[in-house]
Each structure stands twice: as C-alpha cells, then as structure tokens.
Amino acid sequence: MDVNKVLDAKGLACPMPIVKTKKEMTTLEAGQVMEIQATDKGSTADLKAWAESTGNQYLGTVEDGDVLKHYLRKATPEEEKEEAKHPDVVNLGDLQKKIAGEEKITILDVREPAEYAFGHIPGAVNIPLGELEKRFEELNQDDELHIICRTGSRSDLAAQKLTEKGFKNVKNVVPGMKEWTGDLNKNH
C-alpha cells in the first residue's frame, strides 16, 4: 500500500509499539500516512485507542502472516471543522439516491490511497488532494463530479481547485466518508 513512512515494531512487546509510533508520528506531516508493522497481538486495540486519544486517524489493519500492518494517518485539527467554502454541496442521503438512480455520476475520492483502500464508495475514483494539481486532467470536465473525503474539508479544497481549473459541475459531498453508511468497497 502507498504510505509515507513504514515503522518496524516487529518483535516488540507492549508498550513499545505505542512508544515508537508516538516518536515516529512527530516526523510526519499532517495528512501523511504511516504503516506500523507489529507482532504484538494487543497492538491493534492499542493503536486504535491511541489514535482516538491523540486525535489521529486509525485507518485499519491488514494481517500478513504473523505480522500486523496498522495504518494511521496524522490528522489535523482544522479538518474537523467542516468549514466549506465551495457553494455547491450535496449531503450523503442525496448522494446515495443519485447513485441508486439511472443517471451516471462520477465520485472523486480525494483521501490518501490507504484511507481509500480501507473503504470507499463502489466506483469512486481516487486522486489524493495533494496529487490533484498534476492529475486533474484524468477527469472529464463535463461530468457531474461529486467530491468526497473523510470530513468534507479536503473535498472542499478540491472542489475549489477544480472550479478554478474550469470544471463547471462540481459538488462537495458533506460531511464525508466518516458518516457514510452505504455500500463500501475495500481493496487491500
């Protein structure tokens, strides 16, 4: 999986995986994703709780033989604010209705690849916000574009950016994947 940093905490007992994670996390920039490899069976519950207490985002865990690979994203307090500047917004219920309808719609998921891997709306296209500048041409300007992230904050920035680039039919989906209750696809 595409991550910004890999931490090897294999063979370490509690509380070492947490202590190491805490240290490594300080070297990450906000929004970046870290993979923590551990063999301590308690580390799944511990890292989940740690992320919750420290305001970071626990994405999920993949078992690879004896090794547990945990994915954490360094969250920022700003993105919890849900401050939307892009005027055209659509809520999750309306998005669900549109997906169920006949009309063809495009969903753009601007979260990090690891976040996308642990659960996204079926058919959603993944271009992380940080890559949008150089990849926006992969999208069709005439499509009705529904942009989603976790809380509505990154997708708001993406909607503004694409509007600047000349996209005419861009909608920000609020609040985002953290409250999505519809179908999910996973690819990890």
Residue in 22, 81, 168, 178 binding another protein, rule: CB under 8 A: 22
Using rule CB under 8 A, residue 28 touches another protein: no
As given in the structure block, the two tokens for residue 170 are 């861009």
Instruction: Report how far residue 40's alpha carbon sits from residue 51's, in angstroms, rounded to the nearest whole number.
Output: 17
Q: Please give the single-letter amino acid code of residue 166.
A: G
Q: Is 149 a catalytic residue?
A: no
> In the chain, which residue ranges form alpha helices assigned H by DSSP?
16-25, 43-54, 92-100, 113-117, 132-135, 153-164
Using rule CB under 8 A, residue 50 touches another protein: yes
Residue in 8, 11, 87, 140 binding another protein, rule: CB under 8 A: 11
Residue in 1, 12, 99, 125 binding another protein, rule: CB under 8 A: 12
Q: Which residue, 18 or 157, has its beta carbon nearer to another protein?
A: 18
**Which three-class secondary structure string do you get for 33-71?**
EEEEEECCCCHHHHHHHHHHHHCCEEEEEEEECCEEEEE
Q: Which residue, 21 or 155, has its beta carbon nearer to another protein?
A: 21
* Interacting residue ranges for another protein, rule: CB under 8 A: 11-16, 18-19, 21-22, 46, 50, 53-54
Which residues form the catalytic set? 14
